[in-house]
Amino acid sequence: MFVVGLTGGIGSGKSTVADLFAAHGVSLVDTDLIAHRITAPHGMAMPPIAAEFGPAFVAADGSLERARMRELVFSDEGARKRLEAITHPLIRAQTKREQREAQGPYVIVVVPLLVESGSWKHRVNRVLTVDCSVETQIARVMSRNGFSRDQVLAIIARQATREARLAAADDVIDNDNAPLGTLKAQVDKQHRAYLSLAGA
């Protein structure tokens, strides 16, 4: 199956673009959703997380104590690595499983941190970056999540730069001030190119 890795910074419009591809019958695999599912109650990552970090990181319902873990890995790089050593292989395995089961002419895997976690680039046939300016990201995430400007800037500072994401891209969707019609036209064109690359 031909696999497109879709990436972009927070608020760039990954979900919006992914939905436009899905409207063409393209299968989506969302690694954020998988990450959430494996740390939900009785999720596959929960026994090893409990063993590694202790019961304080497991909520009463058996899911991850997200706020506590976020706080820990924000300030402790070693802890972040230990967490990722548990979650990343599980996310990769589940992604593969969903790719295998995918219907449609090709599959789009949404990987927010594709550029940051280098190995993803080798697991996809094409990298598609959704691009917009940092100011646009800030405005969208402030409005979508109710975050302050500083909160959004702190998240952006931890992600790859706009330039790095563009450098990693085989294809780019320009989603800076793009009205929905323009965005859809770009997706339609890219979809035709992927159909042809996928041999569909």
Q: b vs e for 155-165, b when ≥16 Cβ sit within 10 Å of the residue's Cβ?
A: bbeebbebeeb
Q: Under DSSP, is residue 5 helix (H, G, I), strand (E, B) or coil?
A: strand
13 annotated among ligand-binding-site residues: yes
Binding mask 126-155 for ligand ADP (x = CB under 6 A): --------------x---x-----------
Binding span for ligand ADP by CB under 6 A among 7-15, 52-60, 88-96, 151-159: 7-15
- Within 8 A by CB and 6+ apart from 9, the residues are 132, 134, 137, 156, 159, 160, 162, 165
CA distance 140 to 12: 8
191 close to 149: Cβ distance less than 8 angstroms? no
161 close to 39: Cβ distance less than 8 angstroms? no
Query: Is residue 97 close enough to count as binding ligand ADP by CB under 6 A?
Result: no
Binding span for ligand ADP by CB under 6 A among 8-16, 38-46, 78-86, 155-163: 8-16
**Binds ligand ADP by CB under 6 A, chosen from 6, 107, 152, 183:** 183
Query: Is residue 5 close enough to count as binding ligand ADP by CB under 6 A?
Result: no
Q: Which is nearer to ligand ADP, 8 or 43 (CB)?
A: 8
Strands (E) across 27-184 are located at 27-30, 107-110, 126-131, 171-174
Q: Six-digit token pair at 196?
A: 């042809």
**Binds ligand ADP by CB under 6 A, chosen from 1, 2, 16, 155:** 16
Query: Is residue 28 close enough to count as binding ligand ADP by CB under 6 A?
Result: no
| Residue ranges binding ligand ADP (CB under 6 A) | 8, 10-16, 140, 144, 175, 178, 183
* Residues annotated in a binding site for ATP: 11-16
